[in-house]
Amino acid sequence: MSPLVRQYEFSQADLSACVNYMQNHLNMMETKKRPVDWITVNYMVCDVQYGGKITDDWDRRLFNTYGQAWLAPRILEGGFEVYPGDRVAPGTDSDGYKKFVEGLPLIDDPGLFGLHSNADLVFRTAQTADVLGTVLDIQPKEGGGGGGATREELVLAQVEELMTKLPADFKGDEVKVAIRSQGGPKPLNICLQQEVDRLQKVLTVVRSSLANLKLAIAGTIVMSPDLSNALDALFMARVPAAWAKASQLQSPSLGVWFGNILQRQEQLAGWLKSGRPHCFWLTGFFNPQGFLTANRQEVCRKHAKENWALDDVVNLTKVVNMEKAEVRRPPDEGIYVHGLFLDGCKWDKPGNKLVDSTPKVIYSELPVLLVTGCLAAEKKADAYSYACPCYANPKRGGLNFIFTVDLRSEDPPQKWILRGVALLASTA
């Protein structure tokens, strides 16, 4: 249930070092007749003792927020509760502490860590998926002696169906002509060419794999290890390893992955045929970071007279409270994107702000987002604006990070940081 991007090897030694430091600090403050220096305490605990092992900037932000919430003067006030109904252990004798610990629940409430109650549902769902995945992996892959279609016959039928649904290859000359008619080597057009080339490689791998698998099942060619892997994967409705490697897309099922490929092809083909879309499906890009960089480049070109440099320009985002179908024209500057989902909260359209998630609703779609650019020195900071990280999928961190979106909130950002609120381009 932890909102940490990565898992860290925190040990008992780290805790002991923090306890020893706290004891020494309190003794020193008592000697000097001074109050506790909470700023120093937070720095030593969050940035030095534990922070030295934290490698992700978002995790560091989260850990410092924990420090601000729990290493503060209010913990010394009478009746302090970490979470409503979860009080600090009373008394100072060992028997009192032991009795208190024995009365603690076996499963912690997500609210204890600042999380929404949905976090427990996500955790249990992930556990169940792992168990079911293990059960599927240990199932025999050879067909039994009973009646009905064999494994090879079932896969063959699936192969033929996929081959009929697989879109046609992009023709290089036609792609170049279409891009030239839309202005030639502009930043977004260059991005379009790269995305088409990348998708074509995926289509080539899939088409070749399906054709060879069909021949291997018929006995015309030898069943190689790659084809055997594809056979097993298709039989269990999973993505073959070669397809996943070519696309760099992680998906729990073959249907979701194949549908994603079809949607990507539809967006790129429509872009080539009808011109730049009014609103882009951000999930449909193999390199969304490059796409957003190209957008910043075009914004810089519009401000060429003001001598804007790319290194000085940052993304400027705004939720426009429209759905994709409501977008009739592109923005005057920048781009519209859709297809992002909020994890850990939801968007209130009437109030134009972040609010708590609906119970048992894990993800909620964000309305259309305007992405443009501005000079970093001129970007205004809002104390109640939440800097929300956006990831390609629920597996946060690393190369999955896309960019940061500023979302309006009437609650302090610390609330959403503790909840692990993030935007996801894909929920699969």
Residue 148: its pLDDT value, please? 65
Q: Give me the amino acid identity at 122.
A: V
Check whether residue 245 and residue 131 sit in a common domain.
yes
Is 216 among the domain residues?
yes
Q: Say if residue 155's pLDDT is above 80.
A: yes
Token look-up 């179908």 returns 325
Is 90 among the domain residues?
yes
| Terminal alpha carbon distance of the chain | 18
Quick one: average pLDDT of 139-143? 61
Is 71 among the domain residues?
yes
pLDDT band at 383 (very low <50, low <70, confident <90, very high): confident
Residue 342: its pLDDT value, please? 96
Is 1 among the domain residues?
no
Residue 99: its pLDDT value, please? 82
Predicted confidence (pLDDT) per residue in 186-210, tens digit? 999 999 999 999 999 999 999 999 9
Domain boundary among 275, 300, 327: 275
Residue 373 phi/psi, 5-degree rounding, is -145, 160
Residue 2: its pLDDT value, please? 61
Residue 93: its pLDDT value, please? 77
Check whether residue 128 and residue 105 sit in a common domain.
no
194-218 b/e (C-beta count within 10 Å ≥ 16 → b): bbbebbbebbebbbebbebbbebbe
3-state class of 143 per DSSP?
coil
Check whether residue 122 and residue 271 sit in a common domain.
yes
DSSP letter for each residue of 322-389: --GGG--S--SSSEEEE--EEESSEEETTTTEEEPPPTT--EEE---EEEEEEEGGGPPP-TTEEEEE
The total of other beta-carbon atoms located within 10 Å of residue 338's CB is: 20
Domain boundary among 275, 309, 335: 275
CATH of the domain at 21: 1.10.8.720
Cα dist. 222→151, 236, 363 in Å?
A: 17, 22, 45
Check whether residue 315 and residue 419 sit in a common domain.
yes
Residue 151: its pLDDT value, please? 86
pTM score, two decimals?
Answer: 0.87
Residue 131: its pLDDT value, please? 86
Check whether residue 415 and residue 293 sit in a common domain.
yes
Residue 250: its pLDDT value, please? 82
Q: Give me the amino acid identity at 185.
A: P
The total of other beta-carbon atoms located within 10 Å of residue 165's CB is: 11
* Domain of 310, in residue numbers: 277-428
Is 250 among the domain residues?
yes
Check whether residue 70 and residue 131 sit in a common domain.
no
